[in-house]
């Protein structure tokens, strides 16, 4: 057995072209050497704002200012629909054009009706064997693992099997469709890997899709699950039975206001059903009356999308005030950390009822862009025209990593203690030791256009999504070996695209 399939602690991803700002369109509101199969670079317009800040110098170790604020809880009004040194590289490229039915279960192993409940019993776990939370979390033998990549130009999200490297399905994320009308960006995966939430920054929608057929719903009662079977099979909106629910947040009229920063909470593990139950989703946006004034972080019921709590962040004095919470990640105490675009660092104290929040101002020049939280519970920020910075909440100290100063985007941690940061300066990915806060190595890609998102899968492999190419799979133990999975579209995607970040910080109960 591959020793890599036996894991104890796992990896963590992030959130968060080369004019570094935000996202893609400014509408108003086998083994071979370098093969490029089915490559379709995007030729879209860009809504990436022009960078208007200067890069900072070398490393800093500076205490940032911090203030404590009581969170305000209000009632939302969303619309809910249920249903370093450069290195040489060897690589392989994977052709994902073949079809697959993507089936994880026999059609017909479904629930009926027009509503589903996250955390219902997975038939694969009810075999009379003792219940092991590690298996449910994907921390035993890995049988399936998915990377979810948002296709901003098409209004879809791709489900890529990280074991076979095949795109097993592609799903619409909202009714508005392509041409950046939905403009999905951030995706986040639940702890058990069974569900993904996708945020549409243009439309304001958050949509949940089930990864496995047994969690989908036979809405039309035909005794089978009608769902996407491959990358060319995109069902009309509302007709893919693995889309469980969608909600439209009451955002202000700017693409910057749309939902971005997002993370799941694990829920509670039920030893009887051998499942995590009652997971939550935290997502941030700027409300209708919030442009430059306030932001909302809302807690949604993972099963229904119902808003359960809204934390109001007043005095939204970010680098760019017309952008809402930009990235989010969970820590080992199940607190939610998030950042503003080139702005402050926040923590929502979820054990409080109602939830409260703390805020810290990073040193000048930090230029926060992508963010994540490492297995120790420390947040990390990738600066665009700034350094890679980490924060110690025990000492209230920000530390910039020496030798990092570029336009960095997504950031994630692997299970070996390494941080991986997408770079749009020199095109590639930076590897950093998260204990010593020093650069390990800078890695080039044989093909590189705009690396954006970073995430780590259940086996511990690092994935770097290139906005125009697709996704690179990297072995952190042998990082010169890389595989490119070609995915058509414009992939402006950040955050926990595999669920690896949650698995790195949350221990089984």
Whole-model pTM: value is: 0.80
Distance CA 346, CA 338 (A): 5
**CA dist list (Å): 62 to 59, 65, 288, 363, 378:** 10, 10, 36, 7, 15
Residue closest to 197 by CA, chosen among 104, 333, 110, 303: 303
From residue 155, alpha-carbon distances to 152, 180, 189, 460 in Å are 5, 7, 18, 29
Q: Phi, psi (5° rounding) for residue 470?
A: 145, -130
Listing DSSP states for 141-195 in one string gives: S----EEEEEETTTTEEEEEETTT--EEEEEE-STT-TTTTS-EEEEEE-TTSSE
CA–CA gap between residue 142 and residue 126 (Å, rounded): 17
Question: What CATH number does residue 409 fall under?
Answer: 2.130.10.10
* Residues of the chain with confidence (pLDDT) below 50: 1-21, 24-77, 84-117, 119-127, 139-140, 509
Pairing of strands 379-386, 356-361: unpaired
Q: How many CA atoms lie within 13 A of 26 on its CB side?
A: 7
SS3 383: strand
Q: How far apart are CA 353 and CA 4, in angstroms?
A: 41
Provide the domain count of the chain: 1
Distances (CA, A) of 492 to 148, 358, 369: 12, 29, 13
What is the pLDDT, as a whole number, of residue 302? 97
In 222-288, the DSSP E strands lie at 243-248, 262-264, 268-270, 275-277, 280-285
Q: What is the pLDDT of residue 46?
A: 35
pLDDT at position 305 is: 97
Task: Return all residues near 25 (Cβ < 8 A) that are at least 6 apart.
Answer: 44, 45, 46, 47, 152, 153, 180, 183, 202, 255
- Quote the CA–CA distance of 420 and 232 in Å, as a whole number: 31
Compute the distance between CA of residue 421 and CA of residue 107 in angstroms, rounded to an integer. 40
The C-alpha angle 319, 205, 210, rounded to 5 degrees, equals 120
Element (H, E) at 504: helix 500-505
Instruction: Note the pLDDT tens digit of each residue in 225-276.
Output: 999 999 999 999 999 999 999 999 999 999 999 999 999 999 988 888 888 8
What pLDDT does residue 141 have?
A: 58
State which residues form the domain around 312: 3-83+86-505
Strand order in the sheet with 481-486: 90-94, 481-486, 470-474, 462-466, 451-456
User: Dihedral through CA 10, CA 431, CA 389, CA 48, nearest 10?
Assistant: -100
């Amino acid at each position: 057995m591959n020793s890599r399939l036996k894991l104890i602690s796992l990896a963590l991803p992030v959130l968060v072209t080369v004019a570094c700002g935000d996202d893609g369109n400014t509408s108003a509101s086998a083994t071979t050497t370098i093969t490029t199969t089915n490559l379709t670079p995007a030729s879209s317009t860009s809504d990436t704002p022009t960078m208007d800040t200067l890069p900072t110098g070398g490393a800093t170790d500076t205490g940032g200012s911090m203030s404590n604020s009581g969170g305000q809880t209000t009632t939302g009004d969303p619309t809910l629909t249920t249903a370093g040194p450069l290195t040489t590289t060897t690589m392989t490229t994977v052709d994902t054009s073949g079809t697959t039915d993507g089936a994880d279960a026999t059609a017909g192993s479904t629930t009926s009706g027009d509503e589903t409940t996250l955390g219902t019993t997975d038939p694969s776990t009810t075999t009379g064997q003792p219940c092991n939370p590690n298996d449910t979390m994907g921390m035993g033998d890995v049988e399936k693992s998915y990377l979810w990549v948002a296709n901003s130009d098409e209004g879809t999200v791709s489900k890529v099997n990280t074991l076979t490297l095949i795109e097993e399905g592609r799903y619409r994320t909202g009714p508005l469709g392509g041409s950046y009308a939905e403009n999905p960006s951030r995706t986040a995966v639940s702890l058990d890997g069974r569900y993904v939430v996708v945020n549409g920054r243009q439309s304001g929608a958050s949509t949940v899709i089930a990864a496995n057929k047994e969690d989908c719903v036979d809405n039309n009662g035909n005794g089978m699950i009608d769902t996407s079977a491959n990358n060319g099979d995109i069902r009309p909106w509302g007709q893919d039975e693995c889309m469980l629910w969608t909600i439209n947040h009451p955002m202000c009229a700017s693409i910057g206001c749309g939902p971005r920063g997002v993370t799941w909470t694990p829920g509670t593990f039920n030893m009887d059903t051998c499942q995590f139950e009652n997971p939550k989703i935290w997502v941030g946006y700027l409300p209708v009356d919030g442009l430059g004034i306030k932001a909302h972080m809302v807690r949604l019921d993972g099963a229904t999308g119902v808003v359960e709590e809204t934390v109001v962040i007043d005095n939204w004095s970010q680098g760019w005030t017309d952008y809402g919470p930009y990235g989010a990640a969970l820590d080992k105490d199940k607190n939610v950390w998030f950042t503003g675009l080139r702005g402050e660092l926040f923590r929502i104290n979820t054990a409080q009822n109602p939830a409260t929040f703390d805020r810290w101002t990073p040193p000048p020049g930090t230029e926060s862009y992508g963010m994540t939280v490492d297995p120790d519970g420390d947040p990390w920020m990738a600066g665009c025209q700034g350094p890679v910075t980490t924060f110690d909440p025990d000492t209230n100290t920000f530390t910039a990593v020496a030798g990092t100063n570029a336009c960095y985007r997504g950031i994630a941690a692997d299970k070996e203690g390494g941080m991986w940061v997408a770079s749009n300066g020199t095109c590639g990915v930076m590897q950093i030791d998260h204990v010593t806060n020093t650069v390990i190595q800078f890695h080039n890609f044989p093909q590189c256009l705009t690396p954006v998102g970073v995430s780590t899968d259940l086996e511990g492999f690092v994935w770097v999504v290139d906005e125009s190419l697709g996704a690179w799979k990297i072995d952190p133990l042998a990082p010169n070996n890389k595989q490119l999975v070609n995915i058509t579209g414009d992939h402006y995607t950040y955050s926990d695209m595999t669920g690896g970040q949650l698995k790195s910080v949350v221990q089984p109960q």
